[in-house]
Each structure stands twice: as structure tokens, then as C-alpha cells.
Chains A and B, each alone.
Chain A
Amino acid sequence: MIDIIWFILFSTALFVTGLLGVITQTNGIRILISVEFMLNAANINFIAFNSYLGLVDFSGWSMALFVIAIAAAEAAIGLAIFISVYRSFGDITLGSIFSLGEATEVE
């Protein structure tokens, strides 16, 4: 069995990728995709530790289950919102929807 450090590294790589996506993207759906990666990274960590610490009570799996369920619910709601936003604004680029932003002119 390989060292657990590699799984942790793997999860770090995925998390970092997801984070990069969240920061750089403007398209809402792509942001959702990146968020899914971040959640997955956490999942890998849970399951890896579950296995490596020899947890006979499978707490790692339960946490992973929670995460999966929440990710699914969040993706569903997020996409529903995006579709309505697309219907109202015709545009899903998060940078161009300004209703909640601060006025950029200095008073």
C-alpha cells in the first residue's frame, strides 16, 4: 500500500485546481464545476484517512456521504438559479451582473 501522503497530495492538487477555477472564472457553470472539484478533494481526504487509520467505524465514509449529498443538492440549486438568472439577464457571466455591487465612482 502506498503512503498516505500521496493521497493527500492528490487531494491538494485537486483542491488547488478547483480554487484556481473559482477565482479565475466568470461563467457561473464553470465556477460550479470548480467547486465540485474542491468538494471532491475533501472527500478523497476523508476516505483516505478512513482507510489508513484503520477506522473500524467508517466515520470517514459517513463524512464523505454527507459531502456528496450536500454537493449534489448544492449543484442542483445552483444550476436552477443560474437558469433563472439566464432567463432574466440573458447572460451568465458573473462579472456583468451588478445589482449588488458598490458604485464605482468616488463621491
Chain B
Amino acid sequence: MAGETTIIQGGTFINLALIIMLTPIFSSFILMFIRYLEIKKNKEIHGVPVYSALLGIGSLLVSFLFSVAMAIMYFTGEYGSDSEHLTTIVADADMIVGTNFKFGLMIDPLSVLMTLLLGVIAFLIHLYAYEYMDHGEPEVTRFYAFLNFFTGSMFGFILSGNLFMSFIWWEMLGVSSYFLIGYYWKKDSARRAGTKAFLYNKVGDVAFMVAIFLILILHENTERTLDYHLLAELSIPAKELLLPGILLFGAAIGKSSQFPLFGWLPEAMEGPTPVSALLHSSTMVKAGLYLMIRNFAVLYDIHNFHATLPVVDPMAAATFVLFIGTVTAFMGASMATVSTDFKRILAFSTISQLGYIAMAIGAGGKTAAFYHLISHATFKSLLFLCAGSVIHGSGLTDIRTMGGLYRKMKYTMAATFFGLFGLSGFPFISSGFFSKDAVLLAVEKSSVPYAEVYYIVGVFTAFLTAFYSTRLFIEVFFGKTKDGMDKKFDTKNSNPHESGKYILTALISLSVLVILESLMWAISTYGGITFLLTEEWLAEMLGVHGHAFEWSGAFTSFGVVTLGYLLGLYLYQWNPSARDLLKKPLGWMGTIAENRFGIDILINWISMGIVVKYISPAFAAVDEKVIDEYLINTVISQQIGLGSAELADTIDQDYIDGAVNATWRSTRYIGRVFRKLQTGLTGNYAQYMAVGLVLLLALVTVLNEFGLANLY
């Protein structure tokens, strides 16, 4: 455990943090204004206008440099947080006087590291987008505006110092995600995807709000607070924290796409690839898990971490988290195995890896979780950028149509190799190996009941991860046709070319980062030295020690990962025709995975049911037939054709349509009802006033009986 922690108010770090946070947001507003000017002047713009690129990338450069500076100053300067002495820097300002709702910033090792990570990745992606978005889109200013806004909100979220501020930034993240997913708003599917993402996240937001209020009212006898640095010090019995813990994780379920609310993430691939790389692989989806790591004290009483817990009950929140995480990891990996769109595979893989991080949190391995968070962010964003490079260079998205690309896109291939190297956890040396191993170790040694079951599922998922990584790599860059010939790329229909310098810069930088991480962690683990950014060091910073590296776990990983590689190579490179043989016995599993285990269908059916039940009485006078026909047709056809992916799409349409129709129809109906109240007769108005007065007085009198409102 680290030594003492001091808390400082204000200072240079706060100014740094504010610069980091607010520069992208200001530049996003300026860009929006520029976009307004562009529209007014009705200019035809092709490619990326220089001014918006300068502003967009420039602001991120500023944030990146300042975040690096902040990290250096924080870890080596006089405030030096080292293993002896942790410093937390906070700043507060009242938003609503007299309540707990304040602006708040908190700078501690967790936020500094995350800011650094975000700074690097976001800057590289903004650079990447300069070349990626140049296919004649006239609205790239808008793109940079939204992307900057998102990055600024993410910085704000990371640096926020209390739950209320986190919630505000969280909402802004959700909004930017909606805008960015639906960026190509002219496409129907993109709009729907954006709405779907927003609505799924909204469910999590409700849980978040309830959790905040519960935490607020928890402290009956002590000072009510939402500040992180104060919350961690309060000793609240674990039974009271059960519901807030579960609800906070509910927020993570929505935003970090855990089971059962992961359906939005594959659809979110409708957005441009830089968006997928930045939001939906490395930063925004990590927001929920970051929140859980921040509020780790809600799940585990840190001070008694290693004490035996005599009662199972207080562990229920952690068990819940572990369970959901494991299910998500498994589902994500299995869905990735049967998917055929490049970005979709990566999306499902993200879901799976997020599940891993959640598993670590539930099992009590805060360090392992953050470790895996960092490494996953790096290689997943790298992988998405590679996907973008392939798509940009060849114009294809389905991996079955790719193959043999290694001749034309060597750099991209190398970068993808390093990305998958991390993702699959290449035994013994890759960053993914160390972090995933740490996660699995935490799960195995966890004090949650039945942890061994979860461990086994996690190991199996690692096998699947290695398998689909190999599959992806081979299908895209190599591949053999069914008769055993090497796939050569068909240059008649499209001309794949290697990408330009901006994209390559981003790819190479991130690959270098992955390699660096792997090297550093390898040296630290095998050499036993602890230095900056290694697991031991992280443990000191975060205050929770993981378990030391164990060779038995390493060999298990080595075993399953190699098995995955071999199986992938066998089925896709050495003996492709073997796939047909497997279709019969294992085809049903594939179908289940393709339909996302029916979760999306279930959610759509529940929502449609609730929507119809809620507004059906109101519709009695208006347009009932149309809605009935919609609903009856889809429900019946749903029961007949459950196994068809086409059907899932239709239901998707109806859900969105139904929801939108519900909103305007119910609004109109309510309008009609209330318009009847405006009679123009003063007697009626006097009546209304009198009724209001009576009700108010009655309410106060009744409440006074219960002691909730004082009459005197």
C-alpha cells in the first residue's frame, strides 16, 4: 500500500487540467461557428479544409503536449507521487450554492495516466482523420468540431472530481457519441445507429442518476459529499453500498456495452473509422469502467481488502460485476468469431475485452483492470486505424472479399500484426499477454464465490480471442481459396493502395507504443525491476496490489493462445475446406452468435411492448389500426423466423419508428387535452386557481403530519 496521501487545493496542476480540458471544447465551438459561416457562404468544399484541420488537430496537439507535461510534472516533480507519497490535487467551485452540486477537478495518478493515454491516442487519431476524411466530404469542419467536443468532454470526465461533474461530462459524451455515430446523417442506417446508441446509453444514465442520489442520501450522519477524495475515506457498511454499486455498474453496462446492453456498439460502426477508433474502442467505452475504477471503494472496502469476508452478501455487487463481465467477454468473443465485417469484428472484440476489464474490477483487481484498460486502448485503437487504412485503401469492408492484401499494404499489415499481437496476447512478450494474464490471475485468486468458473470462461475466451485474431489477419492479408490457392487480390474492381503519410504516422506511432509497452512490461516482469508505468508501479499508485506474476497462469495462457493460433491457421490457411465440415455440427452455435444471442431482439420486443402498452389508451381515438397492424405483423413474423438476421433489422426499424411516432403523437394528444382547459372564462380560471390552492394546502398539511414539511 502506498504511504500517505496528501490533498492539495488548486495550483498549477489545476490550470494545466483546465487547459487540457477546455482547449478542445473552445475549438469545437469555434469550428461550429466556422461551419455556420461555411453554410452561409454556401461554399463547395472538397477534402479537408486547412483551417478546420489546423484548428482541430492544433487544439489536440496543445492538449497532448500539456497532458505529457502534466504527467511528467506530476510523477517526477516536487509534488512527486512516488511509492512513498501520493498527492491528490483537487479544486472545487459551487455550482448551486448550498447543495452538493459543484464543479470539481481531481488530479491523482489514475486521472493523470488516463489523460496521458487519451492525449496520445486522440492526437494521433485527429492526425489520422486529416487524411482519412478526404473523400470529398464537404462537412469535415463539422467532423472536427464534434470530435474536438468529444475529446474535451472526455478529458473533463477523466479529470472530474465528484460524481455530479462526472455525470455532466458523461452526458456530454453520450451526446457527442450520438452526433459522431450519426455523422453521415443522410444514411438511414447511420441515423438509426446513432439513436440506438443514445437510447441504450440512456438506460445506463438513469442507473447512474439513481446511484448518485443513493450515494448522496447514504451519509445520514456524516457530511454529505459526492467528491471522490472524500468518498474514499468514508467508512460505510458494505450492505448500504450494494445498490449504489450495482447501479453504478448499470451505468457502465450502458456506456461500456456490457451484457445485455451491448447492441449499440456493432451498430456504432456506421460512424467514420476515426470515430470508431477514438470513441468506441479506446476512450468513450472505457468511461464506464473508468468510473467503476474510480469508485472502487463502493465495491470493495479497500482497507480490509485482504481480510476474509464472513458474509457473502456484501460481495454481491462485485459478484454481479464479475458475472456480467464474464458473460460479456464470452459473448463478444463468440460474436467476433462469426462476424464478417472488418469493423464489426473489432467491435465485438472490443465488447469482449471490455468484459475482461469488468471481470477484473469485479474480481477485485483494480490494478489489473487499469492495466488491461491501458493496453487494450492502445492496441484496439491501432487496430481500428488499420481497419480504416484498409477500408480507405481498398474500398472494401467485408473480409471475405479481401485477401492477399499483403503485397500492396505492407505497412498496414505490419501495424495490424502488432495490434493483433497485443489483442490476442502473444505469449510471454506482448502487452496484451501481461494485462490479460493479470486479469485472469485476479479472477482466479478472487474472493468472490465460484471464481473458478469465471476463470475457466475467461481462459476459453482467450482461446477464442486468439482464434478470431488469426482469422482476421489471414482473411484480410493472406487467405487461401477453397481449392487451396493463395488469394490474389482482384485488381479489376478496385485498386488497393497503401495509405498516405498521416495515416501511416498514426499507425506507426501506435505500433511503436504497443511495442514499447510490451518491452517495458516484459523487462519489469522478468527482470523484477519496477519503474514508471509498470504493473508494480501502477499498484503503488492506485493503492491496490495485484498478485505477483505466476508462471502457472502464464503457461495456461500460452497453451490456449497457441491453440487458438493453430486452429486459426489450420482452418483458414492450411486447410480451408475443413470449414465446410464444421458447419454441420457447429453451425447452430454460429447462428446464435450471429443473432447476438437474441439479446437485441429481446430488447426490441420489450421496448415495443412497453411503448404500445403505454400509449395505446391514448391512441384510442386516433390511428389505432396502423399501430396494431405494425405490431401484430412483427410479433407473428418474429415468432416464425427467429433465426433470420433480416428480421432483426426489420424489428429495429419498427422500434425506432414506433418510438418516434409515439413521441409526436402523445405530444399532440396532450396538447389537445390541455388546450381544452383554455376556455377564456374567468370563472374557470378562478376555479383552477382555487383547486391548485386547495391541493397545495392539502399537500402541505399531509406532509406536515409526516414531518416532511414544516408549517411553522
Interface residue A106 (Cβ < 8 Å from any Cβ of B)? yes
A23-B690, A106-B672 known; A101 vs B683 contact (CB < 8 Å): no
Known: A94-B681, A98-B680. 7 other contacts (CB 8 A): A22-B683, A22-B690, A23-B690, A24-B683, A31-B682, A100-B680, A102-B675
The reply to whether A95 and B672 contact each other, CB–CB distance below 8 Å, is no
23 contacts between A and B (CB under 8 A): A22-B686, A22-B690, A23-B683, A23-B686, A23-B687, A23-B690, A24-B683, A26-B683, A94-B681, A94-B682, A94-B683, A95-B681, A95-B683, A98-B680, A100-B680, A101-B678, A101-B681, A102-B675, A102-B676, A102-B678, A102-B679, A102-B680, A106-B672
Q: Specify which chain A residues have a CB less than 8 angstroms from the CB of B682 in the assembled complex.
A: 31, 94
The reply to whether A101 and B687 contact each other, CB–CB distance below 8 Å, is no
Interface residue A19 (Cβ < 8 Å from any Cβ of B)? yes
- Residues of chain A in range 1-34 having any CB-CB distance to chain B below 8 Å: 19, 22-26, 31
The reply to whether A101 and B680 contact each other, CB–CB distance below 8 Å, is yes
CA distance A43 to B680 in the complex (A): 30
CA distance A94 to B679 in the complex (A): 12
Q: Specify which chain B residues have a CB less than 8 angstroms from the CB of A25 in the assembled complex.
A: 683
Q: Specify which chain A residues have a CB less than 8 angstroms from the CB of B672 in the assembled complex.
A: 106
Q: Specify which chain B residues have a CB less than 8 angstroms from the CB of A98 in the assembled complex.
A: 680
Q: Specify which chain A residues have a CB less than 8 angstroms from the CB of B687 in the assembled complex.
A: 23
- Residues of chain B in range 678-712 having any CB-CB distance to chain A below 8 Å: 678-683, 686-687, 690
CA distance A24 to B684 in the complex (A): 9
CA distance A96 to B599 in the complex (A): 61
Q: Specify which chain A residues have a CB less than 8 angstroms from the CB of B681 in the assembled complex.
A: 94-95, 101
Interface of B is mostly: helix
Question: What is the chain B residue whose CB lies nearest that of A98?
Answer: B680
Q: Specify which chain B residues have a CB less than 8 angstroms from the CB of A106 in the assembled complex.
A: 672
Q: Specify which chain B residues have a CB less than 8 angstroms from the CB of A102 in the assembled complex.
A: 675-676, 678-680
CA distance A95 to B679 in the complex (A): 9
Q: Specify which chain A residues have a CB less than 8 angstroms from the CB of B680 in the assembled complex.
A: 98-102
> Interface readout for A20-52 with B: 1 if CB under 8 Å, 0 if not?
001111100001000000000000000000000
Question: What is the chain A residue whose CB lies nearest that of B672?
Answer: A106
Q: Specify which chain A residues have a CB less than 8 angstroms from the CB of B676 in the assembled complex.
A: 102
Q: Specify which chain B residues have a CB less than 8 angstroms from the CB of A22 in the assembled complex.
A: 683, 686, 690
CA distance A95 to B682 in the complex (A): 7
> Interface readout for A67-107 with B: 1 if CB under 8 Å, 0 if not?
00000000000000000000000000011001111100010
CA distance A22 to B679 in the complex (A): 16
CA distance A25 to B686 in the complex (A): 10
The 3 A-B residue pairs with the shortest CB-CB distance, nearest first, are A101-B680, A102-B678, A22-B686
The smallest C-beta distance from B322 to any residue of chain A, in angstroms, reads 58
Q: Specify which chain A residues have a CB less than 8 angstroms from the CB of B679 in the assembled complex.
A: 101-102
> Interface readout for B659-679 with A: 1 if CB under 8 Å, 0 if not?
000000000000010011011
Q: Specify which chain B residues have a CB less than 8 angstroms from the CB of A23 in the assembled complex.
A: 683, 686-687, 690
CA distance A22 to B685 in the complex (A): 10
Question: What is the chain B residue whose CB lies nearest that of A100?
Answer: B680
CA distance A59 to B703 in the complex (A): 30
CA distance A98 to B686 in the complex (A): 16
- Residues of chain B in range 631-682 having any CB-CB distance to chain A below 8 Å: 672, 675-676, 678-682
Question: What is the chain B residue whose CB lies nearest that of A26?
Answer: B683
CA distance A67 to B687 in the complex (A): 23
Q: Specify which chain B residues have a CB less than 8 angstroms from the CB of A100 in the assembled complex.
A: 680
CA distance A22 to B690 in the complex (A): 10
CA distance A31 to B675 in the complex (A): 25
CA distance A25 to B687 in the complex (A): 11
CA distance A27 to B652 in the complex (A): 59
> Interface readout for B449-490 with A: 1 if CB under 8 Å, 0 if not?
000000000000000000000000000000000000000000
Q: Specify which chain B residues have a CB less than 8 angstroms from the CB of A24 in the assembled complex.
A: 683
CA distance A72 to B680 in the complex (A): 26
The smallest C-beta distance from B369 to any residue of chain A, in angstroms, reads 59
CA distance A96 to B96 in the complex (A): 48
CA distance A58 to B678 in the complex (A): 43
Question: What is the chain B residue whose CB lies nearest that of A25?
Answer: B683
The smallest C-beta distance from B670 to any residue of chain A, in angstroms, reads 14
Q: Specify which chain A residues have a CB less than 8 angstroms from the CB of B690 in the assembled complex.
A: 19, 22-23
CA distance A24 to B690 in the complex (A): 12
> Interface readout for B185-209 with A: 1 if CB under 8 Å, 0 if not?
0000000000000000000000000
With most chain B CB atoms within 10 A of its CB, the pick from A24, A95, A106 is A95
Q: Specify which chain B residues have a CB less than 8 angstroms from the CB of A99 in the assembled complex.
A: 680
The smallest C-beta distance from A92 to any residue of chain B, in angstroms, reads 12
The smallest C-beta distance from A79 to any residue of chain B, in angstroms, reads 16
The smallest C-beta distance from A67 to any residue of chain B, in angstroms, reads 18
CA distance A19 to B531 in the complex (A): 81
> Interface readout for B425-438 with A: 1 if CB under 8 Å, 0 if not?
00000000000000
CA distance A11 to B616 in the complex (A): 49
Q: Specify which chain A residues have a CB less than 8 angstroms from the CB of B678 in the assembled complex.
A: 101-102
CA distance A34 to B675 in the complex (A): 28
The smallest C-beta distance from A34 to any residue of chain B, in angstroms, reads 9
CA distance A24 to B686 in the complex (A): 9
Q: Specify which chain A residues have a CB less than 8 angstroms from the CB of B675 in the assembled complex.
A: 102
- Residues of chain B in range 394-420 having any CB-CB distance to chain A below 8 Å: none
The smallest C-beta distance from B407 to any residue of chain A, in angstroms, reads 68
CA distance A100 to B685 in the complex (A): 13
CA distance A23 to B687 in the complex (A): 6
The smallest C-beta distance from A66 to any residue of chain B, in angstroms, reads 21
CA distance A22 to B688 in the complex (A): 12
CA distance A26 to B690 in the complex (A): 16
CA distance A95 to B318 in the complex (A): 66
Q: Specify which chain B residues have a CB less than 8 angstroms from the CB of A26 in the assembled complex.
A: 683
Q: Specify which chain B residues have a CB less than 8 angstroms from the CB of A19 in the assembled complex.
A: 690
With most chain A CB atoms within 10 A of its CB, the pick from B672, B678, B679, B680 is B680
Q: Specify which chain B residues have a CB less than 8 angstroms from the CB of A31 in the assembled complex.
A: 682
Question: What is the chain A residue whose CB lies nearest that of B678?
Answer: A102
CA distance A26 to B686 in the complex (A): 11
CA distance A101 to B681 in the complex (A): 7
CA distance A10 to B681 in the complex (A): 30
CA distance A95 to B680 in the complex (A): 8
Q: Specify which chain A residues have a CB less than 8 angstroms from the CB of B683 in the assembled complex.
A: 22-26, 94-95
The smallest C-beta distance from A20 to any residue of chain B, in angstroms, reads 9
CA distance A26 to B681 in the complex (A): 9
CA distance A31 to B680 in the complex (A): 16
CA distance A99 to B676 in the complex (A): 16
Question: What is the chain B residue whose CB lies nearest that of A95?
Answer: B681
